[in-house]
Amino acid sequence: MKGPTMTLNRRGFLGLTAGLSVVTLTGCATGAPSPTAAGPRDGGRLRAAFAGGGAKEVLDPHLANLFVEAARSKALFDKLADLGPDVSAQPRLAEKWEPSTDLTRWRVTLRQAAFHDGRPVRAQDVLASYARILDPNRAFRAKSSLSLIDLANSRAVDDRTVEFALKRPFVEFPNALAAFGTYIVPEGAEDFGAPVGSGPFTFVSFEPGKSLLLKRNPNYWEGAPHLDELEFVLANEESARVNALLGGQVEYAHDLTPTTARGNAGSDRVMIHRSPNSAVQAFAMKLDRAPFDNRDLREALFLLADRQQLVEATLSGAGQVGNDLFGKGYQYYADDIPQRTRDLDKAKFLIRKAGAEGLTVQLDTSTAAAGMVEAATVFADQVKGSGLTIEVVTGNKDSYWADTLKNGSLSSFRSGAMPIETHLAQRLLTDSGTNVTKWARPEFDTLYRKAVSTADAQERGAAYREMQSTLHADGGYLMWGFADWIVGTSPGVGGVSTAPANTLDWARFDKVWLG
């Protein structure tokens, strides 16, 4: 968008006011500044606009569900581990972890860290936090991630050492410690009106649905943040976040669309930050019912997708093509499996072979995630002429995920980043809670159990490779692309990470500075 500079020039030409002409001159002189060149600078208040949950919001980190809640929790609290740029678990409050040889007992040593009120973070706080999450009478999101911990047999060895007993051998236990919402709160904490955590920022004030103001924690164990203050403000509509950024009301706008990114590329008012491989875009076929219980038909669909066109048309190019496998660029991703490309002739042959010529399939989609309806429409178009017809049906966005878990045979799907092991456990085992494709194979379950109970990294890698190979050949996910996560900041803002969404460095503000 060349607009702003041109308008400013013309306004200067018209000479409406002297003050505005000065703006014009500075606007022209600076051009597009390069903030990273300036280096970190301390101080200032950064205002960050996110989509929010309205007046019903709370600061309880175990109730976190939305992006803004994840970002706030991260500013105020710590987890024992968190996800690094390759979406593998990295130690945080935990300094190190050591499993027993049978992988059922894990000894976690805590870092020397303190809560905002000065009390040290102790093993007892860790156990109390996990006990709170696992409370059978409550429904915290992290409950299933931690469910393999045998809490009754776990204990605090000393103030800085926890020994976790697991219900079964599990080599990927650090993934559980890094799971969404597994924050450590002080023992006995129930009132989060003025939360006390161990994170890089401390609480100042909170108005639900309006704003949360935090200030820097000078004693943060990883070093104090650059910013003096951090304010989270809410704007649910993407256009409002962009307007607030362009109007100078905020310095950071979270979750922008590819269209906005493209429109503002090269603008001197906004810097666009893209985090590749942040969200997988897919179509999910259900294997337990017609017509996609037929393997040939699934392969036909795989071969009908023109992935590059889908990325161009629905992500405005802000993404990469997928190869029907989750977690491109993540630890254990099978990048040696050849990339699938469109093959209309073979697809036609497979559709005939499956006896599905003339068949019309309903593709359920909704606006629950950006770009899904557009992708469904583009895909329906790509399928034309193959003998198969796809009819796009747009459903209710608020109940979409629950609806498509049960109903229909083909649906739009999208997922944020998580370790590949977590993706397998949550979605592709016979008893997985969110098994959209109804992939249920005893031999696959066995292979998964083998992978997560073997200490040998190479053997484990081979098992993950084999599982991905099976899914690539036979699975129900047509994962056609990986979308960038897009954030906009004012030009002076530096230190914004481009690690995938859901990882530690995403929406993290203690390394960010104002220029």
Using CB under 8 A, list all residues that contact another protein. Answer: 3-4, 7, 11, 47, 49, 53-58, 65, 137-139, 141, 143-144, 207-211, 231, 233-237, 239-241, 243-244, 246-250, 368-369, 395-396, 398-399, 401-403, 405, 414-416, 426, 433-434
Question: What minimum distance in Å lies between the beta carbon of 131 and another protein?
Answer: 16
Burial of 405 (0-12, 13-18, 19+ CB in 10 A): middle
Nearer to another protein, 396 or 430 (CB): 396
DSSP 8-state secondary structure symbol assigned to residue 119: P
Burial of 141 (0-12, 13-18, 19+ CB in 10 A): middle
Q: Which amino acid is at 81?
A: A
The residue ranges of DSSP E strands in 431-510, in sequence order, are 477-489
Question: What minimum distance in Å lies between the beta carbon of 112 and another protein?
Answer: 34
Question: What minimum distance in Å lies between the beta carbon of 497 and another protein?
Answer: 23
DSSP 8-state secondary structure symbol assigned to residue 513: B
Question: What minimum distance in Å lies between the beta carbon of 278 and another protein?
Answer: 14
Structure tokens at 282: 């897919």
Nearer to another protein, 44 or 53 (CB): 53
**Cα separation, 197 vs 348, whole angstroms:** 58
364, 410 contact by CB (below 8 A): yes
Question: What minimum distance in Å lies between the beta carbon of 486 and another protein?
Answer: 18
Question: What minimum distance in Å lies between the beta carbon of 4 and another protein?
Answer: 7
Nearer to another protein, 171 or 373 (CB): 373
Nearer to another protein, 236 or 341 (CB): 236
Nearer to another protein, 21 or 124 (CB): 21
Rounded to 10 degrees, the C-alpha dihedral 54/60/61/64 comes to -30
Return contacts of 448-451, CB within 8 angstroms, 24+ apart. Answer: 448/424, 451/171, 451/421
Nearer to another protein, 110 or 244 (CB): 244
The residue ranges of DSSP E strands in 14-91, in sequence order, are 45-50, 78-79, 81-83, 89-91
Question: What minimum distance in Å lies between the beta carbon of 109 and another protein?
Answer: 31
Nearer to another protein, 250 or 496 (CB): 250
Structure tokens at 157: 């060895």
Nearer to another protein, 34 or 396 (CB): 396
Question: What minimum distance in Å lies between the beta carbon of 269 and another protein?
Answer: 9
Nearest to 5 by CA among 357, 351, 264, 390: 264
**Cα separation, 469 vs 500, whole angstroms:** 24
Question: What minimum distance in Å lies between the beta carbon of 173 and another protein?
Answer: 20
Nearest to 85 by CA among 447, 511, 506: 506
Nearer to another protein, 380 or 405 (CB): 405
